Structure formats: C-alpha cells, structure tokens
Amino acid sequence: MNFDLNTVWFILVGVLFTGYAMLDGFDLGIGALHLCTKDDTERRTLINAIGPVWDGNEVWLVTGGGALFAAFPNVYATVFSGFYLALVLLLVSLIFRAVAIEFRSKQPMRWWRQMWDIGFSIGSLLSGLLLGVALGNIAWGVPISVNGEFAGTFLGLLTPYPLLVGVTTAALFMMHGAIYGVMKTEGALHDKLRVWAMRCIIFFVICAVTLTMATLLYVPHMAARVHEQPWLFSIALVNMLAIANIPREFHHRRDWLAFLSSCAAMITLMMLFGLNMYPNLVYSLPDPGNSLTIYNASSSPKTLGVMLIIACIGVPLVIAYTVCIYWIFRGKVKLDRMSY
C-alpha cells in the first residue's frame, strides 16, 4: 500500500460515507421503526428525536457524493449512470423522508399525518436498503466494459448477495436508530423502544453472521487481503467484539456505550470493506482487469492536493460545530411549540 494522495482520498471518501452511516444511519433507523407505534405523541417524539440533526447528517452523503465526484470522477460517472434507476429510487426515498418530517406536523388531520408517516417510514427504510444494495454490488463486482462504462442492467443489480447486504444495512440502521431512540426518550415509549432495539439487535446479528459466511464462501476477493495479511484479522476481531458488545451494554442499560459499540461496528465493517477493496473502487466482474481503481479513476494529483487542503480546513470546522450542536440538543426529547 503506497501512502499517496489517491490512497488518502480513498480513505477520506470512506470516512465521509462512514460518517454518513453513523449519523444519518440512526435517522433512517428511527424512520424505519416509525410505524411501530400508533400513538401520535410517540410518533412526534420519535421525529423530534432526530428533528434538529437529520438535515446536517444527510449532508455527509451530499459531501461524500461531491468528494467522489471531485476525487474519482470516473467512479462517480460509471456508478451513477450505471445504477440509474436504483439511484432515482433512492432520491425519491430521501425526498419523501425529508419533506415528511417538515410537512407532517403542519396539519392536525389524521389522514394527513398518516400519509406523511408512511412516506417518512418507507422512505427511510428504502434509503437504507438501496444504499446497502449499491454497496453490495460494488463489493460483489459489476460488469464494466473496457472503456470503463457499466455494462449490466437494472435487474442484474438485484442479485442475492447485494440484496443480503441491503437487508443487513437496513437492519444495522434500525438497530442503530432504536438504540438512539432509547437514549432520547423516556416513559412508555422508552420501554417500547427497548424491546424493539433488542429485536433489531438479534435481527442484525443474524444478518451479519449470514453476510460474513456468504462473503467468505462466494466473494473470496472481499476477504483476500485479510487472507494474505493475517494481522488484519484483528480488525475483524474488533468488529465481532464490537457487535457482541452491543447487546451486553444494552442489557446493562449503558445505552450510550451500546450506541458507541454500534458506531464501532460500522467503522470496522467499513474498514474491512475498504481494506479488501483497495485499490479498487468498483470491482469488475467477470473481467477484474476492467476494475475502476484509485489510479485509473482518479482526478489529477494537483486536484487531489487542492481538495486535501480544502478538506483539512473544512472537516475540523464541521466536526467542531457538529459537536456543539449535538451538545445543545443533548438529553431527552421534550415536545414544545417549536417541535414538529
């Protein structure tokens, strides 16, 4: 592994998407669980738990997309034009998720709220699922032509392995969201969420184990680097321990630590994904020679350098005020007249 600019940007794009998963992951998870309660006040509490922060969280995806465009334009072009319909579905899901939060509380009618509740919930669930399917396809490999264009079809993206990654991602987000919900609520809803969270944890663990087995059996290139360099297995070990630690901390009502373990699980999963992909960004199947890598798909060194300066100025600022804002809105959700 050369530690050049291309590698730095490989890591930075990974950091942005991991940040997105850790932050908007709980928003999407809360959304997916939204219909589990029928009570209007409880639904409002759930929405207001993410109300002040979901918007900033979604920016991680926008910036991740922008960084991909700037650093690896060929990947951005190939994947976005290749996964066309899947991405349009993702966009519509994200649109409904976003506007439903804003629109729902503006009218008291039952049908009105019901309508946006469904939009919010399905939009959130589908967003997680589709992001997972996209990631799964990139891991499994997609047909890439000699000139770097996508050579598959929309239905060709919906094969079992990517769908399994999709379901696992949705399960991960639901678990993450349920734990976040437990942290932000009290009373009856808190108890209800505690039960859901436990179910989500079990569901996620089943998915994660299945996905690990499937990856080892059917996607050998996604385990190749760890196979070659056994010390990297430590990351897999940390990942397993982090996942195992989630129910443990949760059982002892250390919800905050359970949430952090969930974040750690996401980080290590993304690290394993990145380490095994490197230096590929999109794995080409059946001809791995056409894979898009951090070298043949990247911008010029000059641009990567300029962008690195921008990132070095921007990212610390972003982290600083994101922390401040989470601090201002810490604690349990209290509904008031500004709430959704």
Partner 1 sequence: MDVLTLARIQFGATVAFHYLYPPLSIGLGILLVVMEAAWLKTKNPIYHQMARFWTRVFALTFAIGVATGIVMEFEFGTNWATYSRFVGDVFGSALAAEGIFAFFLESGFLAVLLFGWDKVSRKVHFFSTCMVCLGAHFSAVWIVVANSWMQTPAGYHLVVHNGVERAEITNFWQLVFNPSSMDRLFHVLCGAWQTGAFLVVSVSAWYLLKKRHLDFARASLRVGLTIGLIASLLQLVSGDSSAREVAKYQPAKLAAFEGLYNTTSNAPLTLVGYVDEQDQKVVGLQWPGMLSWLVSFDTKTTVTGLDAFPPQDRPPVEASFLFFHGMVGIGFAMIAIAALGFLYFRHGSLHERRGLLWILVFSVLGPQLANQLGWFAAEVGRQPWIVYGLMRTPEGLSAVVKANVILTSLILFTVVYFLLFAVFIYLLNDKIQHGPDEQDLVPSGKLALPTELTHHEKP
Comparing CA positions, the residue from 273, 37, 252, 20 lying closest to residue 137 is 273
Q: Work out how close the CB of 168 gets to partner 1 at its nearest, in angstroms, rounded to a whole number.
A: 24
Report, in this order, helix, strand and coil percent for the chain, each rounded to 5.
80, 5, 20
Q: Which is nearer to partner 1, 28 or 197 (CB)?
A: 28
79 scored as a contact of partner 1 (CB under 8 A): yes
Q: Which is nearer to partner 1, 160 or 314 (CB)?
A: 314
Q: Which is nearer to partner 1, 98 or 163 (CB)?
A: 98
Residue with tokens 């690195």: 308
Pairing of the two strands 280-282 and 292-293? antiparallel
Q: DSSP secondary structure string, 19-79?
A: HHHHHHHHHHHHHHHGGG---HHHHHHHHHHHTTTHHHHHHHHHHHHHHHHHH-HHHHHHH
User: Interface with partner 1 by CB under 8 A: which range of 30-38, 87-95, 125-133, 229-237?
Assistant: 87-95
Q: Which is nearer to partner 1, 116 or 196 (CB)?
A: 116
Q: Work out how close the CB of 337 gets to partner 1 at its nearest, in angstroms, rounded to a whole number.
A: 8
User: Chain-centre distance of CA 331, in angstroms?
Assistant: 24
Q: Which amino acid is at 112?
A: W
Q: Which is nearer to partner 1, 70 or 189 (CB)?
A: 70
User: Interface with partner 1 by CB under 8 A: which range of 38-46, 72-80, 134-142, 202-210?
Assistant: 72-80
What is the end-to-end Cα distance of the chain in Å, rounded?
49
Q: How many residues bind partner 1 (CB under 8 A)?
A: 70
User: Interface with partner 1 by CB under 8 A: which range of 53-61, 167-175, 184-192, 277-285?
Assistant: 53-61
CA-to-CA dists, residue 6 to 68, 294, 297, angstroms: 12, 6, 10
> Contact positions toward partner 1, by CB under 8 A?
51-53, 55-56, 58-59, 61-63, 65-67, 69-74, 76-82, 84-85, 87-88, 91-92, 94-96, 98-99, 101-103, 106-107, 147-151, 154, 296, 299-300, 302-303, 306-307, 310-311, 314-315, 317-318, 321-322, 325, 328-329, 336-339
